[in-house]
Amino acid sequence: MAQGEGFALRIEDLHVHYGPSHVLHGVNVEIPAGSVTAIVGRNGVGKSTLINTIMGLLPPTSGHVYCGDKDLLTLPADRRKQHGLALVPQGRRLFKSLTVEEHLRLVPPIRSGPFTFETILQLFPRLRDRLGASAQTLSGGERSMLSIARALVLNPAVLLMDEPTEGLAPLLVEAIRDIIPRMQQEGLTVLLVEQKLAFALAVADSLAVMERGVIHQEFARDKIRDVSKLSELILRGAGVEDRAANAPDQPGSARLS
């Protein structure tokens, strides 16, 4: 298989330091084009660091970030957008004084695609009612919708989502859950970091369990037979030294039984 073929995003041996702290210890993960992949794990294992490094918001120590066959590692975040990456950041990070419409019109699309101003309002009808409202007046759910909509208006090839359901009420979590498959139907590749295992299982084709700065194991959703054992694996947090002994023979084919 040619380099990049079949994969929208490929991370190879990615290392990141915060000062003397070694946070990512050689992350390797491949994200098939058109798929939804969830990175799951306990707080503090490096999930958000991985997303922010892929997007170019944190400098890596070494490794590679391929989008298709292009290594983006040395490119700043704005150049990575031009290669098809967009981010829904943890905490939304909206401009308080800008209106909903101004957020959606602030940045032009990076390519033509299915997500126009009008189709995005069809996805998020609540935002149509709030077009003239400033971000600081929006509810938490409306801010989440706007953060996702702002990324979609770029028409990215790969959407990175960092804790999209954080702080949301169950009904709003359900609304976000329904939107992700619709984005996938339009050909979008999604990589999301998620604390809620039930949400990840509902939307993702595969789950990658992260522990101590590495991808510890990967599972195809349709191969998971015992969700409680997957939950125990995440909570137990097997160390990096256990990786070789516990990893499945083929990534994405593990049977939890």
pLDDT at 46 > cutoff 70: yes
pLDDT in tens, 125-167: 999 999 999 999 999 889 999 999 999 999 999 999 999 888 8
Element (H, E) at 177: helix 170-185
Residue 222 confidence (pLDDT) above 90? no
**Rounded CA separation 216/214 (Å):** 6
In the chain the domains, ranked by start, together with CATH numbers, are: 7-91+158-246 (3.40.50.300)
Please, are residues 93 and 55 in contact by the beta-carbon 8 Å criterion? no
User: Which has the closest alpha carbon to 193: 53, 94, 80, 59?
Assistant: 53
Which pTM was predicted? 0.84
Please, what is the Cα angle at 229 between 206 and 208, to 5 degrees?
25
Q: Does the CA dihedral 58-62-65-66 come out positive or negative?
A: positive
Confidence of residue 76 (pLDDT cuts 50, 70, 90): very high
Whether pLDDT at 237 is above 60: no
CB 13 within 8 A of CB 38: no
The mean pLDDT of the chain is 85
The answer to whether the beta carbons of residues 36 and 184 sit under 8 Å apart is yes
Q: What is the pLDDT of residues 191-215, one digit of tens each?
A: 999 888 889 999 999 999 999 899 9
* Whether residue 96 has pLDDT greater than 60: yes
Q: How many CB atoms neighbour CB 127 within 10 A?
A: 21
| CB-based burial label for 106 (10 Å; 0-12, 13-18, 19+) | exposed
pLDDT at 1 > cutoff 80: no
pLDDT at 158: 96
Identify any residues that bridge with 87 across adjacent strands, giving them in sequence order: 160
Give the pLDDT confidence score for residue 236 in this predicted structure: 67
Q: Is the distance from CB of 61 to CB of 228 less than 8 angstroms?
A: no
3-class secondary structure, 240: helix
Residue 255 has pLDDT above 70, yes or no: no
